[in-house]
Structure 1
Amino acid sequence: MVKKPKTPNLHDELNFARFGVISMHSRVDQGVTTWNTEFTVNARTFRIEAITPQGRPHGIDTDTLVSLETLFVAHGCPEDNWVHTTAYEVRELMGLANNGENYHRLRQSIRRLYFTSVIVGRKSSLTGTQKVRWDNVGVRFFEGLRYRDSEDDGELSALESEATLSIRLGEQLADSIRAGISQVLDGQLLHRLEQPPARALYRTLQAHRRQDDGQMLKELQVPLTEWRQATGLTTDRSDLVRRALASAHEELLANHYLERAVIEGRGKAAVAQYTFADTHAADPALVRLLRQAGVTVARATALAGQHPERVEEALRFLELRQRAAQGGVRNPGGLVADFLEHPAKYDLPADFVTPERQRQERASQVKEQKLSAEREAQTLREAQLNQLGEASPAEQWTAQRATLQMLLKKHLNAAQWSQLEHLAQCGEIGAVALTRELLEATARSAVKEQIDQLKRKLNPLLPVE
Structure 2
Amino acid sequence: MTKIKNLELDYFTAERFVAQIGIVSIQSRIEEDSPLNRRWTSYSEVGDSIYTVEGYAADFGRPRGVDTDILMALETLFMCQGCPGNNTVTTTAYEIVQLVYRNTSGVLYKRLHESLLRLWRVGFMVSWGHNDPEGNLVRFANRSLSLIEAVQFWSQGKRRDSPDLAEIEAHGKLVIRFSEQLAGSIRAGYYQHLNRKLLTELEQPVARALYRILQAHRPPDGVLTCKVSHWGTRCGIIATDPRKIRRTLESAHDELRASGYLAGVEYTGRGANQEITYHYRAAGSADPHLVELLRSVGVAKPSAMQYAAEYPDRVETTVQYVKDRKGTRNKAGLAVDILLNPEKYDLPEALTTPVARAEDAKKATQQSQQAAEQAADAEFQARQAVLLALDPATQWENCCSTIRLLTKGVLAESGLTRLEALCRTGEVSAAELSRRLSASVSKAERSAFMQVFARQHTLTLIEDARRVSSG
Pick the TM interval, shorter chain.
Answer: 0.5 to 0.7
Overall identity of the aligned pairs, in %: 37
Tell me the amino acid that sits aligned with residue 42 of structure 1: G
Distance 1:226 1:67 in 2: 28
Shift of 1:156: 4.5
| Secondary structure class of the residue paired with 2:209 | helix
Aligned residues: 318
Which residue of the partner structure matches residue 273 of structure 2? Answer: 269
Distance 2:238 2:254 in 1: 21
Shift of 1:232: 0.5
**8 Å contact 1:219–1:275 — kept in the other structure?**
yes
Cα RMSD (Å) of the superposition?
4.1
Corresponding position: 1:95 with 2:101: yes
| Secondary structure class of the residue paired with 1:274 | strand
| Secondary structure class of the residue paired with 1:77 | coil
Tell me the amino acid that sits aligned with residue 161 of structure 1: A
Against the structure 1 CA distance between its residues 281 and 227, is the aligned structure 2 distance closer, same or farther, given a 3 Å change threshold?
Answer: farther
Distance 1:233 1:110 in 2: 21
What is the 5 A alignment of 1:174-213?
A: 174-209=183-218, 211=219
Distance 2:291 2:260 in 1: 24
- Worse-superposed segment, 271-280 or 79-88: 271-280
| Secondary structure class of the residue paired with 1:185 | coil
Against the structure 1 CA distance between its residues 129 and 220, is the aligned structure 2 distance closer, same or farther, given a 3 Å change threshold?
Answer: closer
**8 Å contact 2:156–2:169 — kept in the other structure?**
yes
Which residue of the partner structure matches residue 407 of structure 2? Answer: none
1:57 to 59, 63, 68: 63
1:376-421 CA deviation, whole Å, 9 max, x = no partner?
xxxxxxxxxxxxxxxxxxxxxxxxxxxxxxxxxxxxxxxxxxxxxx
Against the structure 1 CA distance between its residues 243 and 162, is the aligned structure 2 distance closer, same or farther, given a 3 Å change threshold?
Answer: same
Against the structure 1 CA distance between its residues 297 and 62, is the aligned structure 2 distance closer, same or farther, given a 3 Å change threshold?
Answer: farther
**8 Å contact 2:193–2:302 — kept in the other structure?**
no
Distance 1:160 1:102 in 2: 12
Against the structure 1 CA distance between its residues 329 and 52, is the aligned structure 2 distance closer, same or farther, given a 3 Å change threshold?
Answer: closer
Which residue of the partner structure matches residue 43 of structure 2? Answer: 38
Which residue of the partner structure matches residue 113 of structure 2? Answer: 107
Shift of 1:36: 0.9
TM-score (norm 2): 0.59
**8 Å contact 1:101–1:158 — kept in the other structure?**
no
Distance 2:133 2:243 in 1: 39
| Secondary structure class of the residue paired with 2:83 | coil
Unaligned residue ranges in structure 2 (runs of 5+): 1-13, 340-346, 352-471
Tell me the amino acid that sits aligned with residue 196 of structure 1: P
1:47 to 31, 45, 52: 52
Tell me the amino acid that sits aligned with residue 216 of structure 2: A
Distance 2:321 2:103 in 1: 40
Tell me the amino acid that sits aligned with residue 191 of structure 2: S
Which residue of the partner structure matches residue 16 of structure 2? Answer: 14
Distance 2:260 2:135 in 1: 46
Corresponding position: 1:236 with 2:240: yes
| Secondary structure class of the residue paired with 1:181 | coil
Shift of 1:273: 1.3
| Secondary structure class of the residue paired with 2:192 | strand
1:146-173 CA deviation, whole Å, 9 max, x = no partner?
1122348999443211111111111111
Distance 2:85 2:328 in 1: 27
| Secondary structure class of the residue paired with 2:308 | helix
Shift of 1:264: 2.4
What is the 5 A alignment of 1:58-73?
A: 58-73=64-79
| Secondary structure class of the residue paired with 1:165 | strand
| Secondary structure class of the residue paired with 1:183 | coil
Distance 2:253 2:287 in 1: 26
**8 Å contact 2:26–2:236 — kept in the other structure?**
yes
**8 Å contact 1:40–1:226 — kept in the other structure?**
yes
Against the structure 1 CA distance between its residues 184 and 256, is the aligned structure 2 distance closer, same or farther, given a 3 Å change threshold?
Answer: same
Distance 1:295 1:125 in 2: 35
Tell me the amino acid that sits aligned with residue 21 of structure 2: F
1:190-243 CA deviation, whole Å, 9 max, x = no partner?
11211111111000000011x5xxxx4422112101101010000012221110
| Secondary structure class of the residue paired with 2:140 | strand
| Secondary structure class of the residue paired with 2:86 | coil
Corresponding position: 1:78 with 2:80: no
Distance 1:329 1:25 in 2: 42
Distance 1:110 1:199 in 2: 18
Against the structure 1 CA distance between its residues 224 and 168, is the aligned structure 2 distance closer, same or farther, given a 3 Å change threshold?
Answer: same
1:223 to 227, 247, 265: 227
Against the structure 1 CA distance between its residues 329 and 118, is the aligned structure 2 distance closer, same or farther, given a 3 Å change threshold?
Answer: closer
Shift of 1:43: 1.4
| Secondary structure class of the residue paired with 1:132 | coil
Distance 1:127 1:206 in 2: 25
Against the structure 1 CA distance between its residues 296 and 258, is the aligned structure 2 distance closer, same or farther, given a 3 Å change threshold?
Answer: same
Shift of 1:47: 1.2
**8 Å contact 1:95–1:191 — kept in the other structure?**
no
Shift of 1:279: 2.7
TM-score (norm 1): 0.59
| Secondary structure class of the residue paired with 2:198 | helix
**8 Å contact 1:29–1:55 — kept in the other structure?**
no
1:23-70 CA deviation, whole Å, 9 max, x = no partner?
111101233311111112121221101100111110111001111111
What is the 5 A alignment of 1:285-434?
A: 290=294, 293=297, 303-305=307-309
Which residue of the partner structure matches residue 378 of structure 2? Answer: none
